[in-house]
Amino acid sequence: MRLVEDTWLAKRFGYPVFRIDLDPQKEAAPADNRLDLAPLQKDLRQFRPVFCYVKIGASRVDRVSEFTAIGFRVVETNITFLRKLPLPSGQPSLQDRQFRIEPVILSQHSQVLAVAESCFQYTRFHLDPVIPRRIADEIKREWIQSYLKKERGEVLWIARFGQDLAGFLAFLRQSENRGVVDLIGVAPQYRQRGVARALLQYCFQYCGERSLTVEAGTQAANIPSMHLYEGMGFLAQRSQYILHYHAAVGGADIRCA
Protein backbone atom coordinates (compact mmCIF):
# COMPACT_ATOMS: atom_id res chain seq x y z
CA MET A 1 0.00 0.00 0.00
CA ARG A 2 1.33 3.41 -1.01
CA LEU A 3 0.15 6.93 -0.25
CA VAL A 4 0.68 9.05 -3.38
CA GLU A 5 0.21 12.81 -3.59
CA ASP A 6 -2.27 13.93 -6.26
CA THR A 7 -0.94 17.35 -7.14
CA TRP A 8 -3.44 17.93 -9.95
CA LEU A 9 -6.46 17.51 -7.68
CA ALA A 10 -4.73 19.42 -4.90
CA LYS A 11 -4.73 22.51 -7.14
CA ARG A 12 -8.49 22.21 -7.55
CA PHE A 13 -9.17 21.74 -3.82
CA GLY A 14 -6.57 24.19 -2.55
CA TYR A 15 -5.10 21.74 -0.01
CA PRO A 16 -3.33 18.33 0.01
CA VAL A 17 -4.94 15.43 -1.84
CA PHE A 18 -3.66 11.84 -1.77
CA ARG A 19 -4.39 8.61 -3.60
CA ILE A 20 -3.93 5.20 -1.99
CA ASP A 21 -2.49 2.52 -4.26
CA LEU A 22 -3.22 -1.01 -3.04
CA ASP A 23 -1.08 -4.02 -3.92
CA PRO A 24 -2.91 -5.81 -6.80
CA GLN A 25 -1.61 -9.22 -5.77
CA LYS A 26 -2.82 -8.87 -2.19
CA GLU A 27 -6.19 -7.55 -3.38
CA ALA A 28 -6.64 -10.59 -5.62
CA ALA A 29 -5.88 -12.97 -2.73
CA PRO A 30 -8.58 -14.54 -0.54
CA ALA A 31 -10.31 -12.11 1.80
CA ASP A 32 -8.23 -12.89 4.88
CA ASN A 33 -5.30 -10.48 4.57
CA ARG A 34 -6.08 -7.47 6.71
CA LEU A 35 -4.18 -4.24 6.24
CA ASP A 36 -2.42 -2.34 8.99
CA LEU A 37 -4.00 1.09 8.49
CA ALA A 38 -2.46 2.69 11.58
CA PRO A 39 0.50 4.15 9.62
CA LEU A 40 -1.95 5.60 7.07
CA GLN A 41 -3.96 7.27 9.82
CA LYS A 42 -0.76 8.73 11.25
CA ASP A 43 0.27 10.09 7.85
CA LEU A 44 -3.10 11.67 7.17
CA ARG A 45 -3.14 13.39 10.58
CA GLN A 46 -0.17 15.46 9.45
CA PHE A 47 -2.41 17.37 7.02
CA ARG A 48 -5.41 19.52 7.84
CA PRO A 49 -7.44 19.90 5.74
CA VAL A 50 -6.86 16.84 3.57
CA PHE A 51 -8.69 14.76 0.97
CA CYS A 52 -7.77 11.14 0.25
CA TYR A 53 -9.28 8.45 -1.96
CA VAL A 54 -8.90 4.74 -2.66
CA LYS A 55 -10.32 2.31 -5.23
CA ILE A 56 -11.22 -1.19 -4.02
CA GLY A 57 -12.41 -4.17 -6.06
CA ALA A 58 -16.13 -4.74 -5.56
CA SER A 59 -15.54 -8.29 -4.29
CA ARG A 60 -13.46 -6.98 -1.36
CA VAL A 61 -16.24 -5.87 0.96
CA ASP A 62 -13.93 -6.80 3.84
CA ARG A 63 -11.41 -4.24 2.63
CA VAL A 64 -14.13 -1.60 2.33
CA SER A 65 -15.04 -2.27 5.96
CA GLU A 66 -11.45 -1.72 7.06
CA PHE A 67 -11.32 1.70 5.41
CA THR A 68 -14.77 2.83 6.53
CA ALA A 69 -13.73 2.00 10.09
CA ILE A 70 -11.12 4.79 9.92
CA GLY A 71 -13.37 7.41 8.32
CA PHE A 72 -13.50 6.64 4.59
CA ARG A 73 -16.91 6.60 2.88
CA VAL A 74 -18.10 4.86 -0.27
CA VAL A 75 -19.15 7.50 -2.82
CA GLU A 76 -19.32 5.50 -6.03
CA THR A 77 -19.26 2.07 -7.63
CA ASN A 78 -17.36 2.34 -10.91
CA ILE A 79 -17.97 -0.11 -13.77
CA THR A 80 -15.32 -0.60 -16.48
CA PHE A 81 -16.51 -1.80 -19.89
CA LEU A 82 -14.59 -3.19 -22.85
CA ARG A 83 -15.65 -3.18 -26.52
CA LYS A 84 -13.93 -5.25 -29.17
CA LEU A 85 -14.16 -4.14 -32.79
CA PRO A 86 -15.33 -4.38 -35.55
CA LEU A 87 -18.88 -3.14 -35.06
CA PRO A 88 -21.70 -5.67 -35.38
CA SER A 89 -23.88 -5.39 -38.47
CA GLY A 90 -27.10 -3.41 -38.26
CA GLN A 91 -25.76 -0.33 -36.45
CA PRO A 92 -26.30 3.05 -38.15
CA SER A 93 -23.53 4.15 -40.50
CA LEU A 94 -21.57 7.33 -39.91
CA GLN A 95 -23.59 9.06 -42.64
CA ASP A 96 -26.92 8.43 -40.87
CA ARG A 97 -26.23 10.77 -37.97
CA GLN A 98 -27.77 14.20 -37.48
CA PHE A 99 -24.67 15.45 -35.66
CA ARG A 100 -21.39 16.52 -37.22
CA ILE A 101 -18.44 14.94 -35.39
CA GLU A 102 -15.01 16.55 -35.69
CA PRO A 103 -11.90 17.37 -33.64
CA VAL A 104 -12.32 20.49 -31.55
CA ILE A 105 -10.80 23.72 -32.92
CA LEU A 106 -9.63 26.85 -31.13
CA SER A 107 -12.82 28.86 -31.74
CA GLN A 108 -14.84 26.14 -29.97
CA HIS A 109 -12.77 25.99 -26.77
CA SER A 110 -15.05 28.24 -24.73
CA GLN A 111 -18.13 26.27 -25.81
CA VAL A 112 -16.69 22.89 -24.93
CA LEU A 113 -15.52 24.17 -21.54
CA ALA A 114 -19.00 25.54 -20.82
CA VAL A 115 -20.48 22.10 -21.52
CA ALA A 116 -17.81 20.36 -19.43
CA GLU A 117 -18.53 22.47 -16.34
CA SER A 118 -22.31 22.09 -16.52
CA CYS A 119 -23.24 18.63 -17.81
CA PHE A 120 -22.07 16.17 -15.15
CA GLN A 121 -24.01 14.87 -12.17
CA TYR A 122 -22.87 11.28 -11.54
CA THR A 123 -19.09 11.61 -11.18
CA ARG A 124 -17.56 10.68 -7.83
CA PHE A 125 -16.95 14.35 -7.15
CA HIS A 126 -20.58 15.25 -7.86
CA LEU A 127 -21.93 12.30 -5.86
CA ASP A 128 -19.83 13.12 -2.78
CA PRO A 129 -22.02 15.38 -0.59
CA VAL A 130 -18.93 16.84 1.09
CA ILE A 131 -17.49 18.30 -2.13
CA PRO A 132 -19.06 21.62 -3.21
CA ARG A 133 -20.67 21.57 -6.65
CA ARG A 134 -18.40 24.36 -7.87
CA ILE A 135 -15.30 22.23 -7.19
CA ALA A 136 -16.83 19.16 -8.85
CA ASP A 137 -17.70 21.24 -11.93
CA GLU A 138 -14.26 22.86 -12.00
CA ILE A 139 -12.56 19.45 -11.95
CA LYS A 140 -14.35 18.41 -15.14
CA ARG A 141 -13.74 21.78 -16.78
CA GLU A 142 -10.02 21.55 -16.03
CA TRP A 143 -9.96 17.92 -17.18
CA ILE A 144 -11.10 19.03 -20.62
CA GLN A 145 -8.84 22.08 -20.46
CA SER A 146 -5.91 19.66 -20.23
CA TYR A 147 -6.98 18.21 -23.60
CA LEU A 148 -7.24 21.66 -25.14
CA LYS A 149 -3.72 22.44 -23.90
CA LYS A 150 -2.44 19.13 -25.32
CA GLU A 151 -1.39 18.03 -21.83
CA ARG A 152 -3.57 14.93 -21.76
CA GLY A 153 -5.09 12.45 -24.17
CA GLU A 154 -4.92 11.83 -27.90
CA VAL A 155 -7.92 13.66 -29.33
CA LEU A 156 -11.01 15.60 -28.27
CA TRP A 157 -14.00 15.25 -30.60
CA ILE A 158 -17.05 17.48 -30.50
CA ALA A 159 -20.58 16.87 -31.79
CA ARG A 160 -22.20 19.83 -33.54
CA PHE A 161 -25.86 20.39 -34.30
CA GLY A 162 -25.84 23.35 -36.63
CA GLN A 163 -23.80 25.96 -34.80
CA ASP A 164 -24.48 24.45 -31.38
CA LEU A 165 -21.92 22.32 -29.56
CA ALA A 166 -24.01 19.39 -28.38
CA GLY A 167 -21.33 17.28 -26.70
CA PHE A 168 -17.77 15.98 -26.66
CA LEU A 169 -15.73 12.81 -26.28
CA ALA A 170 -12.20 12.86 -24.82
CA PHE A 171 -10.10 9.90 -25.98
CA LEU A 172 -6.71 8.65 -24.84
CA ARG A 173 -4.43 5.76 -25.75
CA GLN A 174 -3.87 3.39 -22.84
CA SER A 175 -1.55 1.01 -24.70
CA GLU A 176 -0.54 0.02 -28.19
CA ASN A 177 -3.77 -1.91 -28.73
CA ARG A 178 -6.25 -0.25 -26.38
CA GLY A 179 -7.95 3.14 -26.37
CA VAL A 180 -10.02 4.67 -23.58
CA VAL A 181 -13.13 6.83 -23.62
CA ASP A 182 -11.77 9.19 -20.99
CA LEU A 183 -14.84 11.40 -20.73
CA ILE A 184 -18.12 11.96 -22.57
CA GLY A 185 -20.16 15.08 -21.96
CA VAL A 186 -23.51 16.08 -23.46
CA ALA A 187 -25.03 19.55 -23.14
CA PRO A 188 -28.18 19.33 -20.95
CA GLN A 189 -30.48 20.51 -23.75
CA TYR A 190 -29.23 17.71 -26.03
CA ARG A 191 -29.63 14.77 -23.68
CA GLN A 192 -31.54 11.73 -24.95
CA ARG A 193 -31.03 12.81 -28.58
CA GLY A 194 -28.29 10.39 -29.60
CA VAL A 195 -25.26 12.65 -29.09
CA ALA A 196 -23.22 10.20 -27.02
CA ARG A 197 -24.09 7.35 -29.40
CA ALA A 198 -22.93 9.40 -32.38
CA LEU A 199 -19.66 10.26 -30.64
CA LEU A 200 -19.05 6.61 -29.74
CA GLN A 201 -19.73 5.48 -33.31
CA TYR A 202 -17.12 7.94 -34.54
CA CYS A 203 -14.73 6.69 -31.87
CA PHE A 204 -15.36 3.10 -33.02
CA GLN A 205 -14.38 4.01 -36.57
CA TYR A 206 -11.21 5.72 -35.34
CA CYS A 207 -10.25 2.72 -33.19
CA GLY A 208 -11.18 0.18 -35.86
CA GLU A 209 -8.79 1.85 -38.29
CA ARG A 210 -6.04 1.46 -35.69
CA SER A 211 -6.96 -2.05 -34.48
CA LEU A 212 -7.74 -0.81 -30.96
CA THR A 213 -10.17 -2.26 -28.45
CA VAL A 214 -12.13 0.41 -26.59
CA GLU A 215 -12.42 0.77 -22.82
CA ALA A 216 -14.95 2.97 -21.04
CA GLY A 217 -16.02 3.52 -17.46
CA THR A 218 -19.10 4.85 -15.74
CA GLN A 219 -20.83 4.92 -12.38
CA ALA A 220 -23.40 2.33 -11.28
CA ALA A 221 -25.64 5.29 -10.42
CA ASN A 222 -25.51 6.50 -14.04
CA ILE A 223 -28.17 4.19 -15.46
CA PRO A 224 -28.48 6.03 -18.83
CA SER A 225 -24.74 5.60 -19.39
CA MET A 226 -24.89 1.92 -18.41
CA HIS A 227 -27.67 1.35 -20.94
CA LEU A 228 -25.71 3.23 -23.63
CA TYR A 229 -22.57 1.12 -23.27
CA GLU A 230 -24.44 -2.16 -23.03
CA GLY A 231 -26.55 -1.25 -26.06
CA MET A 232 -23.44 -0.52 -28.11
CA GLY A 233 -21.79 -3.85 -27.46
CA PHE A 234 -19.61 -3.10 -24.45
CA LEU A 235 -19.19 -5.84 -21.84
CA ALA A 236 -18.53 -5.18 -18.15
CA GLN A 237 -14.96 -6.15 -17.20
CA ARG A 238 -14.57 -5.08 -13.59
CA SER A 239 -16.19 -3.06 -10.82
CA GLN A 240 -14.68 -1.01 -8.02
CA TYR A 241 -15.84 0.86 -4.98
CA ILE A 242 -14.39 4.35 -4.69
CA LEU A 243 -13.99 5.68 -1.16
CA HIS A 244 -13.28 9.25 -0.06
CA TYR A 245 -11.81 10.58 3.16
CA HIS A 246 -12.14 14.23 4.23
CA ALA A 247 -10.72 15.94 7.28
CA ALA A 248 -10.62 19.63 8.17
CA VAL A 249 -8.61 21.70 10.61
CA GLY A 250 -8.93 20.16 14.06
CA GLY A 251 -9.71 16.71 12.68
CA ALA A 252 -13.43 17.19 12.09
CA ASP A 253 -15.03 16.03 8.85
CA ILE A 254 -15.22 18.68 6.14
CA ARG A 255 -18.78 19.78 5.44
CA CYS A 256 -20.11 21.78 2.51
CA ALA A 257 -21.04 25.33 3.33
154-172 pLDDT, tens digit each: 999 999 999 999 999 999 9
Confidence class for position 85, pLDDT limits 50, 70, 90: confident
Confidence class for position 31, pLDDT limits 50, 70, 90: low
What is the reported pLDDT for 248? 86
Residue 90 has pLDDT above 60, yes or no: no
More confident residue, 186 or 256: 186
Helix, coil or strand: residue 164:
strand
Average pLDDT rounded to a whole number, residues 39-59? 95
Q: Give the length of the chain.
A: 257
What is the reported pLDDT for 152? 96
What does CATH list as the number for 2-79+240-254?
Answer: 3.40.630
**Residues linked to residue 55 through DSSP beta bridges, in sequence order:** 242
What is the reported pLDDT for 242? 98
More confident residue, 85 or 48: 48
Mean predicted lDDT score pLDDT of the chain: 91
Tell me how far apart the alpha carbons of residues 52 and 246 are, in angstroms, rounded to a whole number.
7
Confidence class for position 26, pLDDT limits 50, 70, 90: confident
pLDDT in tens, 232-255: 999 999 999 999 999 985 544 444
| CA distance between the termini of the chain | 33
Confidence class for position 217, pLDDT limits 50, 70, 90: very high
> Percent of the chain scored above 90 by pLDDT?
84
> Percent of the chain scored above 70 by pLDDT?
91
Confidence class for position 33, pLDDT limits 50, 70, 90: confident
What is the reported pLDDT for 96? 44
Tell me how far apart the alpha carbons of residues 83 and 216 are, in angstroms, rounded to a whole number.
8
Domain boundaries defined on the chain: 2-79+240-254, 82-237
> Could you give the residue ranges of the DSSP H alpha helices within 14-79?
24-28, 38-44, 61-68
Tell me how far apart the alpha carbons of residues 21 and 23 are, in angstroms, rounded to a whole number.
7
Average pLDDT rounded to a whole number, residues 81-101? 67
**Domain 82-237, CATH homologous superfamily name and number:** Gcn5-related N-acetyltransferase (GNAT) (3.40.630.30)
